[in-house]
Structure 1
Amino acid sequence: SISSVMHILCLLVYDIDLEISESALPGTRFRLESAQDPDSGINSLQNYQLSKNPSFTLAVKESPDGKKQAELVLEKSLDREEESSHQLILTALDGGDPVRSGTAQVRIKITDANDNPPVFTEQIYKVSLRENLPKGTLVLQVKASDRDEGLNGHITYFFDSIPENTRKLFHLDPENGEITNTAILDFEEKNDYTMELEARDGGGLTDHCKVHIEILDENDNAPEVTILSVSSPFPEDSPPGTVIVLIKALDPDAGQNGELSCSIQHNLPFKIISSSINYYKLLTDSTLDRERIPEYNITITAIDKGSPPLSTQKTILLQISDINDNSPVFEKPSYTAYMSENNPSGASIFSVKASDRDLDRNARVTYSLLSSNLEEVPLSSYISINSQTGAIYAQRSFDYEQLREFEVQVQAQDGGSPPLSSNVTVRVFILDQNDNTPRILYPSVGADGSTLFEMVPRSAEAGYLVTKVVAVDADSGHNAWLSYHLLQATEPTLFSMGLHTGEIRTARAFADRDAVKHKLVTLVKDNGQPPLSATVTLNLVFAENFQEALPEMSDQSGDSTPQSDLQFYLVVALALISFLFLITIIVVITMKVRNSKGSSILQHVRPALYSKADPRFLPDYEAGTLPYSYNLCLATDCGQNGFNLLKSSDQNITAENILCNDNSGILLVNNCGSEAPKSASETLLKVSFCSITLVMVSLLWFLIKFFRQ
């Protein structure tokens, strides 16, 4: 009928949309919307047909009221990821003739079930990073995929199993899986990191992977130098090869960046060698001398083989300890000291100084006296020395005239063990002071201050050498330079005196108006400061012979007692002369009878009745600076006293023979072993006795000549 057709046509207009979860189990039935057929009976809806599909089948149920109900039966599991939808054709058939049908499109949408977990693209991710990367640098991005869709396909990333310190170094973006560093990575702290990551979808399914991060070393660490032990101060006598310092040197870098070498600066008496891995020894390479270099600043340099290389320097101060290897050294090889005589006891003479290049006790110098050339008395009685300062002191007052110089050996010894020492010679010169007055040798002065008479011929012309004052000074140098001065004279115009010779000469010829007797007072003065002097008085008589001079000399006596003694001695002398004269005549006659030859007589008479005294030098009179040598003439027979009247025939009398020359017109007293004349009377007596003896000898000589003829 028309109505039936219309109903079927209406059925074809509507499509059927179904959503079936992919997780639906096989056998699950899904009821389809029923077709409507207004016919009844056999012409009504009788059956349904479904297009072929391996996943679905059609089941038709009949309800109790006779209606047909189509159900879609799931034959096998669905997989949305493989086929997300199905298109089926459902056909409704009636029982009329001809059969009428209507179709409807069944659109089946497979809804997703979380049946697929996330899947990482790699199970193990490996990456190599340079150390010292800046913060926030992308290290790695992990990627996981999920075949599900929607929330089931939304993946979130998490750290699954990671140490806390590693978690502080890296950050994982949960949405995109990017891993970045949150701190500076240091190869020397940790050179690799391993972490587990989880990818989780919205349905709770997960997947896991591992990430291995290798840190690549850079030469970012300089070598580290550690001084393990050092021997400071170090003995200067240590032999070469002695260990001074133990050193540990290492580099945290790897490979060539961690290979290093150690060295020290050049021109040092040390060397550095490797004893084992990362360990070095600093040794002495030659002998040390603390006195030359007391300490060393040793710079140890460790350098690696990186590019560019890095280095580290460590400086140590090595002090050299002292040993007693240096003797004290005096400032001079020898010393010369000068000390004025008459010094007070304890006065400082000189000071020696020695230095020792060693240190502390080894350089502590003490001084002592060893020996001297003073052998007669102990050295300690002359000088002493301060053991600490080296000052030399006089222990007595020195006398230049007794000791002019001496030498002493001074020792300087240090305080080391064993001690070392050195010696030096100190030569001490005693400086003369003007402490000795001139000593007048001639004319000699008696105990009463009187001197002998000098006889001057009346016929003496101007320039005639009357006598010579001879004096010496025990001092030396300027202090011994003597000058002679005429202080007083009976007739000042008659005499002159040599300033440096002491010679007294006539300034003019003797005149009748001049006195016969003259007294001269002479002054002998040295050149010291202040000058010292001595005076002597000379008695001169102008006469041609002794007989003429004798009365003048006798007038000098002012004592009656000495004059009486003089007369007594003269009488005795005349008697003795007469007796000797007679004996001599008898002897001569006897010899003449025995031997008529005059030569025989002469052989018996020729021995001299008097002789010049052999010169005996007074001590120290030739040691002065004056170019004179004075001799004192004494009679050979000191037991006899006599007078010798010596005639002057030479005006040029030198200082060496003025006391010994027979040509000097001077009256000498042979007074060996006795005191000087006690008075002018005794002097006159002896002069008279000498004159009588001379007369006797003259007579004897006359007799000998007579008998020879």
Structure 2
Amino acid sequence: MAAALRLRQDSGSFWFAFIAIWQTNYGQLHYSVPEEVPKGSFIGNIAEDLGLGSKKLSDNRVRIISEGMLQYFTLNSKNGQLYVSERIDREEICGWEEKCVLSLEVLVEDKMKLFTVEIEITDINDNAPTITQERLDLKISETAIVGTRIALQEAQDSDIGDYSLQNYHLSSSRYFSLKLQSRSDKDKFPELVLEKSLDREAEAFYSLILTATDGGHPVRSGTLQIYVTVLDANDNAPIFNQPLYKVSVLESVSIGSLLLTVNATDADEETNSEVIYSFLKIKEKASQLFQINSRNGEISTTGKLDYEEDALHEMEVQAKDNGGLSDRAKVLIILIDVNDNVPKITITTFFSSISEGSSPGTVVALLNILDRDMGENGEVLCSVPKTLPFHLEKSFDNYYHLMTDRVLDREETSNYSITIMATDKGNPPLSTTTVFFVEISDVNDNAPIFNNIQYTSYVTENNIRGASVYYMKASDPDCMENATITFSIIDQSVGDSTLSSYLSINSETGVVYALISFDYEEIQEIKFLVKAQDGGSPPLSSNVSVTLFILDQNDNAPQILYPSPPTDGSTGIELAPRSSEPGYLVTKVVAVDADSGQNTWLSYQLIKATEPGLFTLGLHTGEIRTARFFLEKDALKQSLVVLVKDNGQPPMSASVTVTVVLADSIPDMLTDLSSVPVSEDPQSDLTFYLVTAVAFVSCLFLAFLLVLLALKLRRWKNSQLCDNGSVHFDGAPISQFVGIDGVRAFLQSYCHEVSLTSGSRKSQIFFPIGSCTNTLTPQQAPDKPGPVLLIGDSNTVTEEAAIHQVST
């Protein structure tokens, strides 16, 4: 041990001289390093030898993935240098193999490339030759002839080459010498040779020392103390019936099973013929697996055999008699592989998440699948369920890439549970499975989708400001921020205003709000676009058309167009000839409603009349007609209160007062009105002023008629005109308003024709207004017709009549 320690210390200063590095064309690196080097010793720079460069090493993510090799070696991730991390004992790892090579795999993760690194462990002289027995007792008959050979136990040296066992030496003796024998396998074993006849009576005991040496510098050695006892005659040595015993057994054989029996015979008799069997040469590991019966030579198992650890066990047995004579034979035990190892799946590199839309062939994981059995028992078939879009592709040796078959869609399947099954070809086959999960990360590849291709909403006018008018809803099959939808209204013009002044939308909930209170009479519908946009990068969006209909509400009362409500407090006047027949159309109340639908369906009701039953009112036409003939007792002035009501809920209404004067002509009307007694109304003086105005106008009108009559008589006397003549007010525009008591009545589609006749002469006065409807029948005129004066609100003459005379 002292020699070994000195050698280890000395080797630390020169072991680097034995390192050799080269790189083959097959992606392999080869290094050589002696055993027993100190921890932390440099082996080589993998990054430089692979052409990666130390600067890019951290980006390339190079690491050792070989199972079991990390206990001996470590890789510096910063500079790519490979170091020894644990004591390396070549004899412990490789035993007596001539070449001891350790292989490890280095993975470059970003390129998913594997490189094989072979590290050859060279031998140093760290083991001295050893002999199992420290003492050997030999019994030799005194009759043994000179030249008799006695086999000695062979020494063992775990080193190889020049550092292994090289020679034997025997201490000086006159009676014994040492001779080395060589077999076909070049092993040397020592034999003790008798050089001089023994004489028990002269010397009964001899003490010898056998020394075994190796070829190291310095030399290491082991010794065996030999004690020779001289016996009486035993002149035959045991002999094995065959020099080599060979047997093949299954590795699964149970402990204690008999494997074979060796047999040796001795020609001597009695005790000299008794043979004792023992192992002469056997490895330490094999000595724990096998035993030999010293009496009958049966070799059986004492431990569990494993083909994967040692497929062949080689040993030597010895048969020795009581006289010390012996023979040796070689035994080979060959193990037959049994399918007793389940394939092992190791996930070397695994990407738990891949992006949807990745191209086919994207690597998901790097697997190492290994079966320690041999032959078909070690051949493994790997599979992935065919229903999954993945497949396995073998890269080299026992490494497989798990890759995608097609482009994956997260919206179709968001994650996969992948089961990898590895089955060997043994009989019966053994299999193993491993399961891992792969998440499909989302990509913003879907735009928001509205539930409908277009939307229609209704809101009643006069809504509250800020009230919600519709709820927009859209969905996005993506996830996280890619599925976060925000809503907005695409601003556009609505008439003279912008859409943003009418509506707004909650960007998160999609609720559309009214910013104003809508008026159906101004806006009946609003068409706009709503955009739904997700939160992806870049964002995706879609638009939908929305039509908002404003529903009418009965918020407008009927508006009476005719007769138009006076602004000065007076009442419109309509004429009804006393000779009118029942059903005569006196006037028509015209009204409109700004609402729509049934809210504009108007009905007319006569709610108050001076003479009930004298007039009728059309429910839907608004026409005022006479219900019967006029009587003398009927008042000259009839007041009718007409109520116009719409069909809304609740209904709204308006009323108007229509004054109908019973007269055959306008002059009669004016005369009659002047004679109407003034009604005393303590609440108002309006009637008094009206009566005064009517009387004043009547006086002026009578004066005008007298003057006109005088002029006509004078002209008739002085001219030679035809006996018959006509006076027409053709095409003369008159006011559309006939003012009585300061009240203007809108005549619209009505006009009145007054005929005055006298003797053989006729004079006609026309008041044409648009398309006329005659409401007065011609009456007999006075003997001397005169002009008619139309009085307006200002009581002044507003229009002159053109008089045409035609003789008949």
- What is the number of residues matched between the two proteins? 540
1:539 equivalent in structure 2: 659
In 2, are the aligned partners of 1:199 and 1:208 still within 8 Å (CA)? yes
After TM superposition, give the deviation of residue 462 of structure 1 in Å.
Answer: 3.1
How far apart, in 1, do the equivalents of 2:514 and 2:753 lie? 53
1:231-274: CA deviations, max 9, x gaps? 22101121122222212222222112222332322243333221
1:386-434: CA deviations, max 9, x gaps? 1111111111111111111111211111111111111112211111111
Query: SS in structure 2 opposite 1:281?
Result: strand
1:398 aligns with 2:518: yes
Greater RCO (Cα-Cα under 8 Å, separation 6 or more):
1
After TM superposition, give the deviation of residue 663 of structure 1 in Å.
Answer: 0.7
How far apart, in 2, do the equivalents of 1:407 and 1:25 lie? 130
1:586/1:458 CA distance change after superposition, 3 Å: closer
2:772 equivalent in structure 1: 662
Q: 1:402-441, aligned counterparts within 5 Å?
A: 402-441=522-561
In 2, are the aligned partners of 1:577 and 1:692 still within 8 Å (CA)? no
2:792 equivalent in structure 1: 686
Query: SS in structure 1 opposite 2:670?
Result: helix
1:477 equivalent in structure 2: 597
After TM superposition, give the deviation of residue 451 of structure 1 in Å.
Answer: 3.1
1:556/1:134 CA distance change after superposition, 3 Å: farther
In 2, are the aligned partners of 1:647 and 1:664 still within 8 Å (CA)? no
2:243 equivalent in structure 1: 123
1:16 equivalent in structure 2: none
1:128/1:499 CA distance change after superposition, 3 Å: same
1:569/1:464 CA distance change after superposition, 3 Å: closer
After TM superposition, give the deviation of residue 201 of structure 1 in Å.
Answer: 2.6
Query: SS in structure 2 opposite 1:686?
Result: coil
Q: 1:307-706, aligned counterparts within 5 Å?
A: 307-554=427-674, 555=676, 558-561=686-689, 608-610=731-733, 645=752, 661-663=771-773, 665=775, 685-686=791-792, 696=801, 700-701=803-804, 703=805, 705-706=806-807
How far apart, in 1, do the equivalents of 2:426 and 2:260 lie? 28
2:286 equivalent in structure 1: 166
Give, as a single letter, the amino acid of the residue that structure 1 aligns with 2:792.
K
How far apart, in 2, do the equivalents of 1:316 and 1:434 lie? 70
Query: SS in structure 2 opposite 1:541?
Result: strand
In 2, are the aligned partners of 1:22 and 1:112 still within 8 Å (CA)? yes
How far apart, in 1, do the equivalents of 2:574 and 2:462 lie? 40
1:664/1:288 CA distance change after superposition, 3 Å: farther
Query: SS in structure 1 opposite 2:481?
Result: helix
Give, as a single letter, the amino acid of the residue that structure 2 aligns with 1:355.
S
2:160 equivalent in structure 1: none
After TM superposition, give the deviation of residue 130 of structure 1 in Å.
Answer: 1.5
After TM superposition, give the deviation of residue 439 of structure 1 in Å.
Answer: 0.9
In 2, are the aligned partners of 1:341 and 1:397 still within 8 Å (CA)? yes
How far apart, in 2, do the equivalents of 1:312 and 1:612 lie? 113
In 2, are the aligned partners of 1:485 and 1:497 still within 8 Å (CA)? yes
In 1, are the aligned partners of 2:383 and 2:422 still within 8 Å (CA)? yes
Give, as a single letter, the amino acid of the residue that structure 2 aligns with 1:415.
G
In 2, are the aligned partners of 1:373 and 1:407 still within 8 Å (CA)? no
Give, as a single letter, the amino acid of the residue that structure 2 aligns with 1:645.
H
1:51-78: CA deviations, max 9, x gaps? xxxxxxxxxxxxxxxxxxxxxxxxxx9x
Of 442-451 and 473-482, more deviation after overlay is shown by 442-451
In 2, are the aligned partners of 1:297 and 1:316 still within 8 Å (CA)? yes
1:516-543: CA deviations, max 9, x gaps? 3222222111222211111111212233
In 2, are the aligned partners of 1:112 and 1:148 still within 8 Å (CA)? no
TM-score calculated relative to the size of structure 2: 0.60
Of 427-436 and 257-266, more deviation after overlay is shown by 257-266
After TM superposition, give the deviation of residue 119 of structure 1 in Å.
Answer: 2.7
- Over the aligned positions, Cα root-mean-square deviation in angstroms equals 4.1
1:375/1:480 CA distance change after superposition, 3 Å: closer
How far apart, in 2, do the equivalents of 1:125 and 1:562 lie? 159
Query: SS in structure 2 opposite 1:187?
Result: coil
Give, as a single letter, the amino acid of the residue that structure 2 aligns with 1:362.
N
In 1, are the aligned partners of 2:491 and 2:498 still within 8 Å (CA)? no
How far apart, in 2, do the equivalents of 1:556 and 1:309 lie? 133
In 1, are the aligned partners of 2:293 and 2:299 still within 8 Å (CA)? yes
Query: Structure 2 stretches of 5 or more lacking a match?
Result: 1-139, 146-196, 198-230, 679-685, 737-745, 756-768, 777-789
After TM superposition, give the deviation of residue 116 of structure 1 in Å.
Answer: 2.9
Query: SS in structure 2 opposite 1:166?
Result: helix
How far apart, in 2, do the equivalents of 1:693 and 1:461 lie? 33
2:342 equivalent in structure 1: 222
1:266 to 386, 395, 398: 386
Of 515-524 and 153-162, more deviation after overlay is shown by 153-162
In 2, are the aligned partners of 1:155 and 1:202 still within 8 Å (CA)? yes
Query: SS in structure 1 opposite 2:619?
Result: coil
Structure showing greater Rg: 1
In 2, are the aligned partners of 1:368 and 1:411 still within 8 Å (CA)? yes
TM-score calculated relative to the size of structure 1: 0.67
1:432-481: CA deviations, max 9, x gaps? 11111111112211124543122223333333333222211111122222
Give, as a single letter, the amino acid of the residue that structure 2 aligns with 1:143.
N
After TM superposition, give the deviation of residue 144 of structure 1 in Å.
Answer: 2.1
In 2, are the aligned partners of 1:338 and 1:428 still within 8 Å (CA)? yes
Query: SS in structure 1 opposite 2:792?
Result: helix
Give, as a single letter, the amino acid of the residue that structure 1 aligns with 2:355.
P
Give, as a single letter, the amino acid of the residue that structure 2 aligns with 1:609.
A
1:665/1:232 CA distance change after superposition, 3 Å: farther
After TM superposition, give the deviation of residue 25 of structure 1 in Å.
Answer: 8.8
Of 461-470 and 400-409, more deviation after overlay is shown by 461-470
In 1, are the aligned partners of 2:485 and 2:534 still within 8 Å (CA)? yes
Query: SS in structure 2 opposite 1:380?
Result: helix
1:268/1:531 CA distance change after superposition, 3 Å: same
In 2, are the aligned partners of 1:385 and 1:392 still within 8 Å (CA)? yes
In 2, are the aligned partners of 1:570 and 1:689 still within 8 Å (CA)? no
1:8-58: CA deviations, max 9, x gaps? xxxxxxxxxxxxx995599xxxxxxxxxxxxxxxxxxxxxxxxxxxxxxxx
After TM superposition, give the deviation of residue 660 of structure 1 in Å.
Answer: 5.8
In 2, are the aligned partners of 1:113 and 1:152 still within 8 Å (CA)? no
2:50 equivalent in structure 1: none
1:477/1:393 CA distance change after superposition, 3 Å: same
Give, as a single letter, the amino acid of the residue that structure 2 aligns with 1:476.
S
In 1, are the aligned partners of 2:361 and 2:405 still within 8 Å (CA)? yes
Q: 1:106-145, aligned counterparts within 5 Å?
A: 113-145=233-265
1:123-181: CA deviations, max 9, x gaps? 33211112222333221222222223333322232334434433333333222222222
In 2, are the aligned partners of 1:264 and 1:271 still within 8 Å (CA)? yes
In 2, are the aligned partners of 1:373 and 1:408 still within 8 Å (CA)? no
1:607/1:131 CA distance change after superposition, 3 Å: farther
In 1, are the aligned partners of 2:751 and 2:775 still within 8 Å (CA)? no
Greater share of helix residues, 1 or 2?
1
After TM superposition, give the deviation of residue 563 of structure 1 in Å.
Answer: 5.1
How far apart, in 2, do the equivalents of 1:634 and 1:514 lie? 27
Q: 1:74-113, aligned counterparts within 5 Å?
A: 113=233
How far apart, in 1, do the equivalents of 2:321 and 2:359 lie? 80
In 1, are the aligned partners of 2:585 and 2:775 still within 8 Å (CA)? no
After TM superposition, give the deviation of residue 331 of structure 1 in Å.
Answer: 1.5
How far apart, in 1, do the equivalents of 2:313 and 2:711 lie? 159
After TM superposition, give the deviation of residue 379 of structure 1 in Å.
Answer: 2.4
1:690/1:497 CA distance change after superposition, 3 Å: farther
Query: SS in structure 2 opposite 1:538?
Result: strand
1:189 equivalent in structure 2: 309
In 1, are the aligned partners of 2:792 and 2:798 still within 8 Å (CA)? no
1:489/1:560 CA distance change after superposition, 3 Å: closer
In 1, are the aligned partners of 2:492 and 2:498 still within 8 Å (CA)? no
How far apart, in 2, do the equivalents of 1:587 and 1:168 lie? 171
In 1, are the aligned partners of 2:141 and 2:323 still within 8 Å (CA)? no
